[in-house]
Amino acid sequence: MYPWAPVEVPKISPSQGVPEKLSLTDSMSGELVAVGPEEGTARMYVCGITPYDATHLGHANTYLAFDLIGRVWRDLGLEVNYTQNVTDVDDPLLERARETGRDWEELAEDQIELFRSDMVGLRVIPPTHYVGAVESIPSVLRLIEGLLPSGLVYQVDDSEHPDWYFETAAAPGFGRISHLGEAEMIKLFAERGGDPDRPGKRHPLDCLLWRFARPDEPSWGSPLGPGRPGWHIECTAIALEHLGVQFDVQGGGSDLAFPHHDMCDAEAVVATGQPLAQAVVHSGMVALQGEKMSKSKGNLELVSRLRNKGADPMAIRLALLDHHYRSDWEWTDAELEQANQRLARWRSVLNNDATLPAADTIAEIRKALRSDLDAPRALAAVDAWVAASLAVEGDDATGGAEIAAAVDALLGIKLDTLG
């Protein structure tokens, strides 16, 4: 388990007339559904980074969306078991290490460290379990063993590289997350790390469970032969181990709906008889220069680059939260500029002697977030309070401290520091 510094969350008093449930758009049903238990522990798995390059604003946007979910659950009085993986061995990481002449483990460690410091800067509450693929190999192997009796696991007939595969498309309900047809699936599978054309597979959509050792790649001994885990089984195993069956929310960016989330779900259904999660939630894609920001294309704006140039992390957070979590949008420098101005306005009013009472605004923030995580509407509620407070006269400080605590607890924006 990789350690991650804690983030403090202030306690705020409850509001009247606000729904006592968080509703989110579930990719399986396509509908707004209530997520999380009535009481006890809410369980969420979010797909973590592949640590071969620095955190860009697209990653940050995704992790902020799921951070808000955890904050809303905590505010509803629930405990949160938030599990996130880090894909600390996989093709893109090994390729980047080879290209740059670096040791793959050192590259991963450096990028994980940078990611965590970016997340801490953005006041993302750490996952309960932040778990690597490598340390999870025993649980990956146990899960594959559990899949064996289904008859859907097989080794390709390749004397040099007898890799292990899973007949994904045979799993009950396969495709219920992406809702794609087979031809589209095969096309996307090829584009997103899959191998539909691999000779010897029973079906083009079968996914790799255990990649047999290659001479120039790291590998681990196992009853399946020496090798390393495939990508999808990594997340399925980590999620089931740390959250149990059919947990509340599985999440990640919308680029993961297919193949990744459909394939994880297929593995879980065959292994446990139940879907991996009760709801699957996807965040939108952030673009730069007209294309999805991506490490492989190199069109990136990095959180660390902005921070090194002196950007206030709270302004970065505010800029990202001003877009609804499901929308696809394009980053420009103007986003940060506007967020800086907004933050300055909010901070200046908090220093005023008199402001409006806070209760209605805090109820508005809660309502907005509990209704499909509408952060832009929550920010607009704070704007309205700030604008109205500017007109308040006298020296009777009223709602300022409560607003600051609510904006911190619910939105993760700390107003009393300059970042």
Give residues in contact with ligand 5CA (CB under 6 A). Answer: 47-50, 58-59, 61-62, 85, 87, 235, 252-253, 255-256, 283, 285-286, 292-294
How many whole angstroms separate alpha carbon 68 and alpha carbon 371? 12
**121-129, 182-190, 201-209, 232-240 -> range binding Zn ion (CB under 5 A):** 232-240
How many whole angstroms separate alpha carbon 128 and alpha carbon 126? 6
- Of 12 and 293, the one with the shorter C-beta distance to ligand 5CA is 293
Strand extents, DSSP E, 254-347: 277-283, 286-288, 291-292, 329-330
CB 260 to Zn ion: min, Å: 5
Strand order in the sheet with 153-155: 153-155, 164-166, 207-212, 227-229
Does 235 contact Zn ion by CB under 5 A? yes
- Of 42 and 54, the one with the shorter C-beta distance to ligand 5CA is 54
- Of 91 and 372, the one with the shorter C-beta distance to ligand 5CA is 91
* DSSP letter for each residue of 361-396: HHHHHHHHHHBT--HHHHHHHHHHHHHHHHT--SS-
Q: Which does 294 bind (CB under 5 to 8 A by kind): ligand 5CA, Zn ion, none?
A: ligand 5CA
Q: Which does 367 bind (CB under 5 to 8 A by kind): Zn ion, ligand 5CA, none?
A: none
- Of 237 and 368, the one with the shorter C-beta distance to ligand 5CA is 237
**5-13, 40-48, 105-113, 293-301 -> range binding Zn ion (CB under 5 A):** 40-48
CB 392 to ligand 5CA: min, Å: 39
Name the packing angle between helices 375-390 and 400-411 (round to 10°): 170
Q: Which does 213 bind (CB under 5 to 8 A by kind): Zn ion, ligand 5CA, none?
A: none
68 CB burial (10 A radius; 0-12, 13-18, 19+): buried
The CA distances from residue 331 to 55, 68, 272, in Å, are 15, 20, 41
- Of 47 and 336, the one with the shorter C-beta distance to ligand 5CA is 47
List, in order, residues 6 or more apart from 249 with CB less than 8 Å away.
24, 35, 36, 42, 43, 44, 45, 69, 277, 278, 279, 280, 281
Size of residue set near Zn ion by CB under 5 A: 2
CB 259 to ligand 5CA: min, Å: 11
CB 388 to ligand 5CA: min, Å: 34
How many whole angstroms separate alpha carbon 414 and alpha carbon 347? 10
How many whole angstroms separate alpha carbon 374 and alpha carbon 368? 5
- Of 18 and 256, the one with the shorter C-beta distance to ligand 5CA is 256
Q: Which does 304 bind (CB under 5 to 8 A by kind): Zn ion, ligand 5CA, none?
A: none
- Of residues 24, 44, 47, 86, which one binds Zn ion by CB under 5 A? 47
Element housing 419 (H / E): none
Binding region for Zn ion (CB under 5 A) = 47, 235
